[in-house]
Amino acid sequence: MRLYTLSYSSKFMIGNGDMQAFSPMDNDIIKSLTKGFPTINSSLIFELHKKAKLTNCLSQGAIASGGFLVDKKIIDLFENFKLIKHKYYSVEILGKKGEIINDYKWLQIEENLVEEINYEKSVFYETDGVSIIGERKIDSFNWYKEKKDEKGWKFGMRAKSIVMQEGSKLSKIDLFRLLPFVHEIIISEKLKNAIERSGITGFDIEEYNKISW
């Protein structure tokens, strides 16, 4: 089973890596999207960078949680696939000439299935901030949580090779994450092929070989 990462396309970054869209909204609203599916009673507001090209997926740096700023073409395509637990939020984008663009929504991705990892067969890297300390085997996600509470924010674990349990739901899901061990958003080969056939713009797709069954 081949898997791939889905990320913002570097091709459409502006200048020194600026994103295509930014948000002038109250920071508390943006922060509320860091985790879960908060209730937001108004549209999320973004502004298009004056040098940005409109793509089906627009890069943005305001919301730090997992997700994408996507248009109707992507939403319609994703409806034909199985995504991990998610929610769409209404968006208004202020265009270069002051026009309002309503074709986009924020796709928030949240559900995590780390309990379905076969920890006995998986191998991780222990990290201290951005530095890798070395390889480590761990017993469970509870072990990770206890160590995180004990050692603080710098302590982390990243995947070297993750083996999922037999019968894991992830084998039937086309878009998912495995935080905190895999920060990338992962897609199936079936979804990857559909994105490429559709001509959707704004994504980079690269093969990912650290998860197996």
Cα–Cα distance between 202 and 58 in angstroms, integer? Answer: 6
For the chain, what are the domain ranges?
Answer: 3-112+169-212, 118-163
**pLDDT class for 33, splitting at 50, 70, 90?**
confident
Per-residue pLDDT reduced to its tens digit, 150-193:
999 899 999 999 999 998 988 899 999 998 999 899 999 999 99
Q: What percent of the chain has pLDDT over 90?
A: 76
Per-residue pLDDT reduced to its tens digit, 56-88:
999 998 887 789 999 999 999 999 999 999 999
Scanning the structure block, which residue is given the tokens 């201290």? 128
Burial class (CB in 10 A: 0-12, 13-18, 19+), 9: middle
Cα–Cα distance between 77 and 185 in angstroms, integer? Answer: 17
